[in-house]
Amino acid sequence: MSPSFADSEQDDLYDHDLSRIGVSLPSNLLQSFDQILKNRGYSSRSEGIRDAIRSYIRYHKWMADLSGPRQGIITLVYDHHQRGLVAAITDIQHDYMELIQASLHSHVTHNRCVEVLLVKGDAQQVKGIAERLMAQKGVETVKLTTIPLEG
Ligand code: NI
């Protein structure tokens, strides 16, 4: 994800007291990850995983700290062949119809769609839409950008 949020200069995510974990991953996921690490010049997979987890934590902290009235732009990419997904996405959008100002849909490939939602409202509600969409099976990516309405 490349959300629009400011990375903190330094935070508490660099403790040197290491714990070892074992994780099972689909091989294509690991291959894609390793390719990124190679392109970015990482010296070890562990360091890449640590950075990825730090980004994930920062992103979700940023999401949790969002507050106040916002203009939001939600971009989602999904597989429309995933059973029940189109109906689920439509249901979610109807649940938030007071916040959603406009939506734009484009058929990207045979099975992938991109949808852009313009939403306006309380930051936590805007975030709620993005999180519900993110939780659906078959949704590949959800990006949320927000703009404060004050100031
Ligand atoms: Ni489509």
Q: What is the pLDDT of residues 1-52, one digit of tens each?
A: 444 454 445 567 777 788 999 999 999 999 999 999 999 999 899 999 999 9
Looking at the chain, the whole-number percentage of residues with pLDDT higher than 90 is 77
Of 45, 65, 85, at which residue does a domain stop?
65
Q: Are residues 85 and 121 in the same domain?
A: yes
Residue 132 CB neighbour total at 10 angstroms: 18
Averaged pLDDT for residues 55-67: 86
Averaged pLDDT for residues 82-93: 96
Q: Are residues 84 and 132 in the same domain?
A: yes
Q: What is the pLDDT of residue 88?
A: 97
The larger pLDDT score, comparing residue 124 to residue 62, is at 124
Cα 111 to middle of ligand 1, angstroms? 7
Three-state SS for 133-148 is HHCCCCEEEEEEEEEE
Q: What is the pLDDT of residue 1?
A: 40
Residues pairing with 116 in the sheet: 75, 104
Q: What is the pLDDT of residue 2?
A: 41
pTM score > 0.75 for this model?
no
Cα 34 to middle of ligand 1, angstroms? 30
Of 18, 43, 65, at which residue does a domain stop?
65
Q: What is the pLDDT of residue 63?
A: 81
Q: Are residues 31 and 88 in the same domain?
A: no
Cα 139 to middle of ligand 1, angstroms? 13
Q: Strands 100-107 and 139-148: what pairing? A: unpaired
Cα 142 to middle of ligand 1, angstroms? 15
Count of the separate structural domains present in the chain? 2
Q: What is the pLDDT of residue 10?
A: 59
Residue 5 lies in a domain: no
CB distance 130 to 74 below 8 Å:
yes
Cα 105 to middle of ligand 1, angstroms? 6
Q: Are residues 87 and 127 in the same domain?
A: yes
